[in-house]
Amino acid sequence: MTARKIVYMVLDGISDRPCPQFGGLTPLQAARTPVLDRFAAEGICGIMDTIAPGVRPGSDTAHLSLLGYPPERYYTGRGPLEAEGSGIHMAPGMIGFRCNFATIDRAGRIIDRRAGRIHHTELLSSAIREGVDLTAHDVAFRFESGAGHRAALAFAGEGLGDRVSSNDPKAEGREPPAIVPLTDDPADKRTADVCNDFIRQSRQILLDHPLNLERLEQGLPPANILLLRGAGKMGHFEPFSERYGLSGSVIAAATLISGIGMVVGLEHIPVPGTTGSVDTDLDAKVAAVVRELERKEFVLVNIKGADEAGHDGKAEEKRDFIEAIDAAIEPLGAIEGCLLAICSDHTTPCSIGDHSADPVPVVIRGEGVRADRVQAFDEIACAEGGLNRIRGGDLMPILLDLINKTHKYGA
């Protein structure tokens, strides 16, 4: 029998390096994962460079590659993708940014780039939309909250460029620099000026906002400044349905991932209770996948909490969340006529708190798959599997062939 549908599950940042807390094991190796291990034993495994060996992937470029859209051709910056996923439709010529709500002290230094990983920032975003005025620049803007501390910003106006710097110092204890143009193009200078005015006005609004005053009383870091980065213009993406002949949906709390899915034509399925963090409702997300398979042929699902734990250097939290994932995904193994592909988009080692270029594990399980001898799903065991070492752009063609959706090359 040949499978007809695909669940493409990306366990964001689940891969890691050896951790001293676990005697040199990775959090994935240290976790109790009977379900993932069973899927590995029933499927074909390998390791994967989502971009290429030695290249540190961003979540944006990695997901484009995993979906078969080469980032060197399609990537125009993270901002437009984040904006699209936040509910901002990016028309041609609009400039998009990804943003963080962050905390700045009285001396003007960043003391928390994520404002204590604040959630529920909608009131702050509403105040910014109502209070910031860019009419002096003849520019309109859209600003929307994303998951957690994240947000997205878009500008619309004549003569705007996207080659500008960021005001994110990338570390605590530093003052946010002014945004500057990266070229001599007047369009980039115009965008930099608009950005700096937006940051100035929004900072004044955030400083005195009741939500931030309440956070100060509670001893929590206020979200009193915005960090802008990832500027870009929306590019053109061939629709997923035309590229692959499949109907599809995306299920992701992270606005970046839902945005990537949406720009290629996947239907975004919101799931109440999902947060993009370790407190997400995994059961609700898995149930949504099962429902979507009743009407779609392809479902991309992203689970992000392990990535956040890796960025924060919390190896035990990462291990524990991996175990929660393992328990939640068991129903996916009972779906008939479906390929289950599980991988990560990048490695996020707790030791460095950022993405690395280490390859990630991957398993494909379902009807027609030639199972190998791998018995565990982790970075080391999967390296001995039948897929060997592949690149992210290889995975969609492999999956399409397994559901008999590819065409013969040659006579």
Query: The CATH number of the domain where 35 resides is what?
Result: 3.40.720.10
Q: Is residue 408 part of a domain?
A: no
Q: pLDDT tens digit string along 18-69?
A: 999 999 999 999 999 999 999 999 999 999 999 999 999 999 999 999 999 9
What's residue 12's pLDDT? 98
What's residue 248's pLDDT? 98
Packing angle, helices 59-66 and 255-263, rounded to 10: 40
CB 308, CB 16: distance < 8 Å: no
Q: Considering 233, 254, 273, which residue would you say is the last residue of a domain?
A: 233
Compute the residue count for the chain: 411
Amino acid at 230: G
Name the DSSP letter for residue 384: G
CA atoms within 13 A on the CB side of 206: 25
**Whether residue 94 sits in one domain with residue 62:** no
Q: Which two tokens stand for residue 35?
A: 């379900």
**Whether residue 395 sits in one domain with residue 284:** yes
- CA distance linking residue 93 with residue 233, whole number of Å: 6
Which residue segment(s) compose the domain that 381 sits in? 5-76+236-402
**Whether residue 396 sits in one domain with residue 265:** yes
Name the DSSP letter for residue 13: T
Compute CA 366 distance to the chain's CA centroid, rounded to the nearest angstrom.
26
Q: Is residue 97 part of a domain?
A: yes
The residues that bridge with 99 in the sheet, in sequence order, are: 151, 228
Q: Considering 181, 200, 233, which residue would you say is the last residue of a domain?
A: 233
The alpha carbon torsion through 399, 403, 407, 411 (nearest 10 deg) reads: 110
- CA distance linking residue 345 with residue 151, whole number of Å: 21
- What backbone torsions phi and psi does residue 375 show, to the nearest 5 degrees? -115, 0
Buried b (16+ CB within 10 A) or exposed e, 245-262: ebbbbbbbbbbbbbbbbb
**Whether residue 265 sits in one domain with residue 368:** yes
DSSP code per residue over 20-77: GGGTTB-HHHHS--HHHHHHHHHSEEEEEESS-TT----HHHHHHHHTT--HHHH---
**Whether residue 371 sits in one domain with residue 250:** yes
**Mean pLDDT, the chain, as a whole number?**
96
Beta strands in 276-397 (DSSP E): 298-303, 338-343, 360-365, 388-391
What's residue 113's pLDDT? 96
Q: Considering 198, 218, 233, which residue would you say is the last residue of a domain?
A: 233
Q: Is residue 82 part of a domain?
A: no
What's residue 368's pLDDT? 93
- Residue 342: how many CB atoms within 10 A of its CB? 26
**Whether residue 68 sits in one domain with residue 105:** no
**Whether residue 209 sits in one domain with residue 335:** no
Q: Is residue 105 part of a domain?
A: yes
Q: Is residue 263 part of a domain?
A: yes
Mapping DSSP to helix (H, G, I), strand (E, B) and coil, where does residue 233 land?
strand
**Whether residue 278 sits in one domain with residue 374:** yes
CB 39, CB 381: distance < 8 Å: no
DSSP code per residue over 143-203: EEE-STTEEEEEEE-TT----B--S--SSTTSPPPPP-BSSS-HHHHHHHHHHHHHHHHHH
**Whether residue 95 sits in one domain with residue 222:** yes
Q: Which two tokens stand for residue 372?
A: 């190998």
Q: Is residue 411 part of a domain?
A: no
Angle at 394 between CA 355 and CA 377, to 5 degrees: 60
- The tally of domains found in the chain comes to 2
Low-confidence ranges of the chain (pLDDT < 70): none
Amino acid at 204: Q
CB 7, CB 340: distance < 8 Å: yes
**Whether residue 206 sits in one domain with residue 124:** yes
Q: Is residue 226 part of a domain?
A: yes
Q: pLDDT tens digit string along 69-107?
A: 999 999 988 999 999 999 999 987 899 999 999 999 999
**Whether residue 353 sits in one domain with residue 320:** yes
**Whether residue 325 sits in one domain with residue 264:** yes
Q: Is residue 410 part of a domain?
A: no
